[in-house]
Each structure stands twice: as C-alpha cells, then as structure tokens.
Amino acid sequence: MGKLSEKLQEMTGNPNLHIKEVLELVRQLIIVADQGELDCEDDGCRVLYGIIRDCAYKIKAQAEHEREIHKQKGTWDVERGTGTPLPKRTIKHNKGGKNG
C-alpha cells in the first residue's frame, strides 16, 4: 500500500486529523509562496504567490476556527492534537434515478 493511501486510511473517521493535515498544508503553501516570491522575476509570478499566500491564510483561519469548535465540544485531544474518531459513515446510493 502506498504512503498516500496509508495516510488516507489512517485519517478516515477522524475529522481532527483532517484539520491537522489542512494546517500542515497551509504551512507548506505559505513556505512555497514566500520562497517563490523571493525567486520570481516578474510581476505575474508575484501576483500568483500573493494569491497563494492570501488563500493559505484564509484556509488557516477557518481551520483554526474549526479546531477551536472541536476543543469546545471536547472532541479535540489537546495534547495529541487529535480527537475521538467518529463512526464510519456509509453512503446510500439512489439506484432508481432522481425520484426512484
């Protein structure tokens, strides 16, 4: 099994791990934007890295907000940054068409 599929399987059923992963991705986006801006040679690239940075900070704010909600609900393990896994959900498919 590949690393990505192992990671996805590990995260299944625990929304807190998803939030942690989002915060890590945001950190990486900010690093890329900062480094890219230092290395870029034209205005178009500066605009691109500015957009990446702006989006990263917006995503970060929302993820941190969700983390605080989970802490208030008591589903966030402060020491490990994780929480109680939720039961797995099953998706029911409508096989009969729109109304069937």
Crossing angle of helices 3-11 and 15-39, rounded to 10°: 130
Residue 97: predicted pLDDT: 52
Q: How many domains does the chain have?
A: 1
Residue 75: predicted pLDDT: 87
Mean pLDDT of all residues in 48-57: 97
Global confidence as pTM: 0.67
Is residue 26, in this structure, part of any structural domain at all?
yes
| Domain boundaries, position 60 | 3-77
Is residue 86, in this structure, part of any structural domain at all?
no
DSSP string, 52-91: HHHHHHHHHHHHHHHHHHHHHHT-EETTTTEEPPPPPP-P
List, for residues 87-100, the tens digit of each pLDDT value: 444 444 455 555 44
* Whole-number Å distance between alpha carbons of 74 and 78: 9
